[in-house]
Each structure stands twice: as C-alpha cells, then as structure tokens.
Amino acid sequence: MDANVVIMGTESVGKSAITVRLLTRRFIGEYGDIESIYGHSFGREFTLNIWDSPYSEDLSVETSLFEKKVQWADGYVLVYSICDRASFNSVSRLIQTIKSTKDYLSADKVPIVIVGNKRDLHHRRTVLSEEGRLLALNTDCLFYEVSAAENYHSVLMLFHGLLDRMKDAKLTS
C-alpha cells in the first residue's frame, strides 16, 4: 500500500525535525526551508509519501495550495509545540478545516494524528497533555506527545498509529 501523508502546523513547531527523525533516526538541529515529498517504507508492505513544507499552516497559506495538500493526503500529522499555545490553537482550527475540505460524509474517519512536540522542554510547557488528549477525544483523532530532539521511538509510534488509522479508513470506505 502506498499512502500520502501531509505534515502541518505553524512555523518552528518541529515539522521538519519530526520528518527527518523518522527518515534518518537523527536530530540535526536546524533545517533549511526545503519543500519536499519523501518516501519512507514500513516493512515490505507500506510506503508513506510524506509532504513537509517550511510554511506556516495557519491558514495564511495560499488557499489553493492548502486545498491541494488536503486533497492529496490520505492522512494528516498536525504538529504543535507544547511551549506555544498559539500553535495548539492553530491545530484545532486545522482539524475543522481539513474535515470540511475533505469529503464531508467521511469526515469522522479522516485519519489525523495530533502531535505535541518538544516534550523535552517541559519547564517551558504552556499546553497541558490533558488538553491535547481532550482535543483528540472530541475530534476523533489520535494524540501523541513526542520529542523529535530526544526520542526516535515516539516519532516512529505516531506514524504507526497513523498507518493503522489509514488502513482502517481504507477498509471501511
């Protein structure tokens, strides 16, 4: 199975750090402004095409590009920083926009993972884990807190979670 995943969120929340962590298992600290689609295999059966872009996704992005991304994707990784409340609020808006842009009838089962990144910066935390969990519960999304800087495993887990959701969505559609 080949599936398309888009990674979205406001600027500097760690979208590229998460993508690069998955692809290379490494954290390199600074990431250029590269817009790219990367292929990544999960075992022999699955390949994810992951679209990472340097732009902020807080709806300031050009509408046609935003819609193109949303239509292209089968699954969504929506990232905020646990130290940045505005980025969390933006994820909440993104979920509504994705669900209304995508086929309305299947809106409930759109595979979306909410990701609170920078868990290592807990001394600067402004968004509680509970808030992320509650948002996921209310919107029928998955939720993970991760640190792209410190931990490969948590990043891998979030993509596995999304993969399972995408398989379920395909089976029931």
Per the structure block, which two tokens stand in for 73?
A: 């994707």
Residue among 122 and 170 whose Cβ is closer to ligand GDP = 122
For 39-65, the three-class secondary structure string (H helix, E strand, C coil) is EEEECCCEEEEEEECCCCCCCCCCHHH
Minimum CB separation from ligand GDP for residue 22, in Å?
12
How far apart are CB 123 and ligand GDP at their closest, in Å? 11
* Cβ distance to ligand GDP smaller for residue 58 or 131: 58
**Which C-beta is closer to ligand GDP: that of 19 or that of 139?**
19
Q: How far is CA 73 from CA 6, 62, 132, 166, in A?
A: 6, 17, 23, 11
Out of 5, 6, 8, 15, point to the residue binding ligand GDP (CB under 6 A).
15
How many residues bind ligand GDP (CB under 6 A)? The answer is 19
Q: Which two tokens stand for residue 10?
A: 């406001």
Q: In this structure, are residues 121 and 82 in contact, taking their beta carbons and an 8 Å threshold? A: yes
| Binding-site string for ligand GDP from residue 25 to residue 44, where x marks contact by CB under 6 A and - marks none | ----xxx-------------
Q: Which of 90, 139, 147, 154 binds ligand GDP (CB under 6 A)?
A: 147
Which residue, chain included where needed, has tokens 């948590």? 154
